[in-house]
A and B are shown apart, each in its own frame.
Chain A
Amino acid sequence: MSEFDELLSSATEEVLENMFYTGAFGPGTEGDGPYYSAGVSFTGSRNGTLDVAAPESTATALAAAFLGETVESVPPEQVPTVIGELANVLCGVVLGRVEEGGHFVIAPPQVSRRELASLARNLALRQVFELEEGTLSVGLTIDVSGDAVSPDG
């Protein structure tokens, strides 16, 4: 695993375990949609984007856990909001570890509902995590030299 792979993996686990009471138990395989997808772009010491995507059922379970609700009682309009916050928090954790002392501005998350085929796949680094409730995909691109390149160079 590259350094960035490990960073993304450990950051995702930390966020999921502490605010979503969910574990990531190894690599997963994406199934059919629809998906909730949230992307955040960041600028500052480095520019780039971070994207998360989860099937609707997984997103609902994550929202329920985050809010302290059951899957049945979670308000549906809160689900995309929570996925957006997951992307936002994860982005902050990742950037803090990429460059301690760096200065970043994270834009508000852009959340959408889409099918599996249209999920962002052009991000340089991408991992799919197996959760108890389904899968979570996390993608990251960090601009190194002004052009969007892989974190490996």
Chain B
Amino acid sequence: MAQEVIVGVADCRVSNQPESSLITYALGSCIAVAIHDPVSQVGGMLHLMLPESSLDASKAEKNPYMFADTGIPLLFHQAYAYGAEKSRLVVCVAGGAQVISDAGIFNIGKRNCLAVRKLLWRAGVMIRSEAVGGSESRTVRLEVGSGKFMLRTAGRPENTSERRNDGVLCLNR
């Protein structure tokens, strides 16, 4: 029977149980980074809130999953510990919407998107698919056994994550 593992806000989960799904809800300006190794059948998901830990070093120390630059390396290393290999990892990214409650941290959704892209590029990791930007909240689910990355945007049925190959960051201005 499928087991749902909930990834909370500023949280990270990794699993090697093929019957599991990793799910995180209500991605507004936050970003979910989902990774999957189809050979070792290891899947991981990070729900991050902010781009850089230098924004608040003491918070980063208490919870490194809050920030892209501290959370992403931990996600990958935890996956390696379960037997995943970097060269095999399929990476999907979702979130980074511009939400009304953004006020006070200007354009945080866009900043998060760009930080994730920059970090993954620097780490030599390609992003397979992404669903980012816009203004709607997203819920995402990664099936650990199949590697399927499912996406639900408010008001619409769940779908596999769209693949953007047109070279344009999907940020609505």
Within 8 Å by CB, do A and B touch in the complex?
yes
Q: How long is the Cα–Cα vector from A69 to B168 in the complex, in angstroms?
A: 22
Interface Cβ pair total, 8 Å cutoff:
32
Q: How long is the Cα–Cα vector from A69 to B123 in the complex, in angstroms?
A: 9
Question: Interface residue count for A (Cβ, 8 Å)?
Answer: 14
* CB-CB under 8 A for A21 and B124, given A10-B173, A14-B168: no
A145 within 8 Å of B by Cβ? no
Interface residue tally on B, bucketed by range: 10 to 19
Contact residues in B for A23 (Cβ distance below 8 Å): 107, 110-111, 114
Q: Are B171 and A18 in contact (CB under 8 A)?
A: no
A129 to chain B, nearest CB (A): 13
Within 8 A of B (CB), among A3-23: 10, 13-14, 17-18, 21-23
Q: A17: which of B106, B114, B121 is its contact (CB, 8 Å)? A: B114
Q: Which residue of B lies closest to A64 (CB)?
A: B122
A132 within 8 Å of B by Cβ? yes
Q: B118: which of A10, A13, A25, A65 is its contact (CB, 8 Å)? A: A65
Besides A17-B169, A18-B167, A22-B114, 11 new A-B residue pairs in contact (Cβ under 8 A), listed by A number: A10-B173, A14-B169, A17-B114, A18-B168, A21-B118, A21-B121, A23-B111, A68-B121, A68-B122, A68-B124, A69-B122
B residues contacting A by CB (< 8 A) are 106-107, 110-111, 114-115, 117-118, 121-122, 124, 167-169, 171, 173
